Amino acid sequence: MQGSPLEFDFQATTPCAEEVLDAMEPYWKDHWGNPSSRQSRGGVRASAAVELAREQISSCLGMDSFRIAFTSGATEANNLALLGYAREYCAKQGQPGHLITVATEHHAVLDPLRQLTKEGFALTEITPNSDGLLTKEMLIKAFRKETFLVSVMLANNEIGVIQPIKLIVEACRSRGIKLHTDASQAIGYLPFNLEDLDIDLMSISGHKIYGPKGIGCLIYKPEISLMPLQWGGGQEESLRPGTLPVPLVVGLAKAVEIAYRDLSLNQEKLAFLRNKLWQGLKIRIPDLVLNGSLNNRLPHNLNITVPGVKGHHLHAELRPFISCSSGSACSNGEPSHVLLALGRSKSEASASLRFSIGRDSNSSEIDRVIQILVKIVDRLRAY
Ligand SMILES: Cc1ncc(COP(=O)(O)O)c(C=O)c1O
C-alpha cells in the first residue's frame, strides 16, 4: 500500500501553524464584530485586533514609518502597488512612463505590468544572468529618462535566488525611481529590516509562511500615492475598501511573528536539509543541473534539471511518491518562464523539479527523496 506522497512543495503553500489557528479562533467564534463599526463594542474590539496586527507586522519587519493595506494576498498587493502607483503617476504627469522588471518575476507581477503596456506604459523585462540574478549594471542600462517604477522580487518562487536588493535600491534611489518588491517568498526566511532597505512598496502573503490563505498586505511608504483598484466603504485609507477579514488579519500577524521568532533556527535547519538533498542527489546523478545560484538562495529551495529524461515521464513517476513542483504553482502546466529565461530549453525546463522544504521536514524524508528520485531517473534512462 502506497502512503501519501512526501510533501516537498512548501513554496506553493504551507499549512496553518497551530499557534496561528489558536490566535484566529476567538475572532471566528466570539469576537466577530466589524472593525469598521466603531459604535459597537464588538467593532471596537475587532478594530483593536486589526491595529495590533498592523503593529506586530511593523515591528517584526522593522518598518515603523510604513503603512500597511491588507489585501487578499500577494497577487492583489502586487496589482495594487503596480497598477495603483502607475495610474496615479500617469494621472499626475499627464502621460504614462517607463517601467522595469525582470523576466523571472511571478505572473502576479508580470501580468499587471503587461496590462499597463495596454494602457500606454512602456515596459522593459530584463533577462537576468544564467544564475537568475540581476546586477546593478543591468538595471542601470535599462533605465530611461521616463523610468519611474522598478519591480524586482526579493526571492524567486521557483529557483529561490535572492536578488541583490540593496544594490537595486541604490540604483533606483540615485535617479529618484520608486522600487516595488514582491517579498512573498522571502518574508520569514530571511532577516529583514524594511527601514534599512528603504524599499518603497512591498507585497507579502500569509499562506507562504504558515499563515492563512486569502490574506496578505501591501506595505508602502506614507509619501507613496496610489490610485485604488476598487471603491467602496473607505477602509484601508480608501485604498482597499471592503470589510477586513479580522481572523485572517490576526493570523497573518501571528504567522509573521512566529516566522521571525524562529528565523535563525529554521534557516539553519532548512539549509542543512536542502544541502543534504542537493549533495545526495549530485553524487548519485552527477550530470544533474542546479537552476539558480547556490549561494544567494532561500534556505528551503532546490531547483534541478534532470538531463536525459522526459519531463512528463519524470513527473508522472514521481507524483505518487513525492509532492514537488515543476515550477510555479500558478504556471498552468506550461514550461517555466523562469527556467526559459535562465537559458534552459523547453524540454530541459519541463524535466526540472522544485523541491521546497518545510519547517517540519526531516532528514529521513530527505534520504527517501534521494532514494526514490535516483531509482526513477535510473529506470527512465534505461528505456
Ligand atoms: C513570488 C510570488 N508572488 C505572488 C504569489 C501569489 O500570492 P497569493 O497566493 O498570496 O496571491 C506567489 C504565490 O505563488 C508567489 O510565489
Question: What count of residues does the chain have?
Answer: 383
Is the domain of 257 the same as that of 269? Answer: no
For a mutational test of ligand 1's pocket, the pick from 75, 101, 202, i.e. the residue with the most ligand atoms closer than 8 A to its C-beta, is 75
- Among residues 246, 261, 276, which one ends one of the domains? 261
Give, using CA atoms, the residue closest to atom 13 of ligand 1. Answer: 12
Is the domain of 270 the same as that of 251? Answer: no
Distance 371 CA to ligand 1 centre (A): 31
Is the domain of 86 the same as that of 29? Answer: yes
Is the domain of 149 the same as that of 199? Answer: yes
Is the domain of 268 the same as that of 247? Answer: no
CA gap 241, 233 in Å, rounded: 5
Q: Where are the alpha helices (DSSP H) in the chain?
A: 18-29, 41-61, 74-93, 107-118, 136-142, 165-173, 194-197, 246-261, 263-284, 311-318, 337-341, 346-350, 363-382
Residues 6+ apart with CB under 8 A from 48: none
Strands 147-151 and 98-102 come out as parallel
For residue 53, the domain's CATH number is 3.40.640.10
pLDDT tens for the chain, 383 residues long, are 468 999 999 999 999 999 999 999 999 999 999 999 988 999 999 999 999 999 999 999 988 889 999 999 999 999 999 999 999 999 999 999 999 999 999 999 999 999 999 999 999 999 999 999 999 999 999 999 999 999 999 999 999 999 999 999 999 999 999 999 999 999 999 987 888 888 999 999 999 999 999 999 999 999 999 999 999 999 999 999 999 999 999 999 999 999 999 999 999 999 999 999 999 999 999 999 999 999 999 999 999 999 999 999 999 999 999 999 976 544 566 789 999 999 999 999 999 999 999 999 999 999 999 999 999 999 999 97
1 within some domain: no
What pTM does this model have? Answer: 0.96
Q: Which residues of 338-361 are buried (b: 16+ CB within 10 A; e: fewer)?
A: bbbbbebeeebbbbbbbbbbbbeb
Strand order in the sheet with 98-102: 67-71, 216-220, 201-205, 178-182, 147-151, 98-102, 122-126
Cα-to-chain-centroid distance, residue 271: 18
- Among residues 261, 289, 319, which one ends one of the domains? 261
CA gap 288, 307 in Å, rounded: 7
297 within some domain: yes
Is the domain of 254 the same as that of 270? Answer: no
C-alpha distance from residue 219 to each of 17, 64, 71 (Å) = 23, 11, 10
Is the domain of 216 the same as that of 297? Answer: no
Q: Which domain holds residue 296?
A: 6-15+263-382
Cell of 193: 529590516
Among all chains, which residue has been given the C-alpha cell 483593536?
Answer: 48
Contact 60, 190 (CB under 8 A): no
106 Cβ closer than 6 Å to some ligand 1 atom:
yes
Domains: count for the chain:
2
For residue 336, the domain's CATH number is 3.90.1150.10
71 Cβ closer than 6 Å to some ligand 1 atom:
no
119 within some domain: yes
298 within some domain: yes
Distance 211 CA to ligand 1 centre (A): 13
For the annotated catalytic residues, the residue numbers are 330
Is the domain of 143 the same as that of 234? Answer: yes
Distance 184 CA to ligand 1 centre (A): 6
Contact 5, 319 (CB under 8 A): yes
